Chains A and B, each alone.
Chain A
Amino acid sequence: MENDKLVIAGHEFNSRFILGSGKYSMKLIEAAVKDAGAEMITLSVRRANTKEHENILDYIPKNVTLLPNTSGARNADEAVRIARLARELGCGNFVKIEIMRDTKYLLPDNSETIKATETLAKEGFAVLPYMYPDLNAARDLVSAGAAAVMPLASPIGSNKGLATKDFIQILIDEIDLPIIVDAGIGRPSQACEAMEMGCAAVMANTALATAGDLPLMAAAFKQAIEAGRKAYLARPGRVLTRGGSSSDPLTGFLRD
């Protein structure tokens, strides 16, 4: 277990919990990062405030890798533009591509995402594309140079859990990159299940932002993700299709 690192684009992480920073106060970020044990945090790029306003970077510990997203982009060109701005902000070369044309379900546009991934990977970005879990699209993302693949569990912000479970499993089985479940995970039990399936990491934001006690929920997710990872490494036992199997010796007492 000590050597069980998550490796993305050559960077090693001990934590498999990627934390979102949206929809809660900056003052809670420090506690969330600490209680989540997070080593990577997502951010968005937006029109700047002047310096009398607080800056989120002052609340994020320096050892935490920043994962800017391209939210707001409706096509590949806009995502590339946002990614370049994010890199110019001088906090590394990681980017989470997020391209949405639809505002009702916020579902990602896989084909535009593949285009943006190709462009940005060529420019030296470590590209983590958020996508709808489709094997063909995931293979195209691998060919385009993605550093990991981030399939959604259910719509962003829904807290509905692993609605796409079977299709995420196909990606885990077939794609030779870290599969990070992003979007829709609402409870630690769902994060744990994703990790048991073999996901490399889980990303959560709304599950924490909408919880009654954010740092406590961050701690719960941390434990669930660690438990699921251990269970995956321990290789879960078989499931019987019918009947039972006693856990106790069947002979030696009362009957011969």
Chain B
Amino acid sequence: MVKINGKPLETAGKTVEEYLASAGYDKARIVVELNEVIIPKESYADTVLKDGDAVEIVAFMGGG
């Protein structure tokens, strides 16, 4: 089980690249953090998600 943006998902074994594509994220507009470490975009394809990983996918929103 991998926790992605707070939700437990069965994505262990997939790469970050595969997950982002299947979920429909625009890579140009997000940043991915794996266990609180930022993953550079060029590493998405070789970063494999493992059981127990915590992933945060963030973007800009309105704010003051």
Contact = CB atoms under 8 A, between A and B. Distances in A.
Interface of A: 20-24, 26, 29, 42-52, 55-57, 66, 68-69, 71, 81, 84-86, 88-89, 91, 156-157, 183, 203, 205-206
A45 B61 contact: yes
Nearest to A72: B63
Contacts of B35: none
B21 to A, nearest CB: 11
A183 B30 CA distance: 28
Contacts of A20: 62-64
Contacts of A21: 62-64
- 6 closest A-B pairs by beta carbon, nearest first, are A44-B63, A205-B64, A20-B64, A48-B59, A50-B24, A51-B26
B57 interface: yes
Contacts, number: 94
A180 to B, nearest CB: 13
B36 A71 contact: no
A42 B25 contact: no
Interface residues of B, number: 21
A46 B59 contact: yes
Contact of A69 (B36, B57, B63): B63
Contacts of A89: 29-31, 58-60
B56 interface: yes
Interface in B5-31: 5-6, 23-26, 29-31
29 contacts: A20-B63, A21-B63, A23-B62, A26-B62, A29-B62, A43-B62, A45-B58, A45-B59, A47-B5, A47-B59, A48-B25, A48-B59, A49-B59, A50-B24, A51-B24, A52-B24, A55-B26, A55-B59, A55-B60, A56-B62, A71-B63, A71-B64, A81-B36, A85-B58, A88-B31, A89-B58, A91-B60, A157-B64, A205-B64
Contacts of A29: 62
Given A45-B59, A48-B57, A69 B31 contact: no
Nearest to B23: A50
B38 A84 contact: yes
Given A51-B24, A81-B36, A85-B33, A22 B59 contact: no
Contacts of B33: 85
Contact of A156 (B5, B31, B56, B64): B64
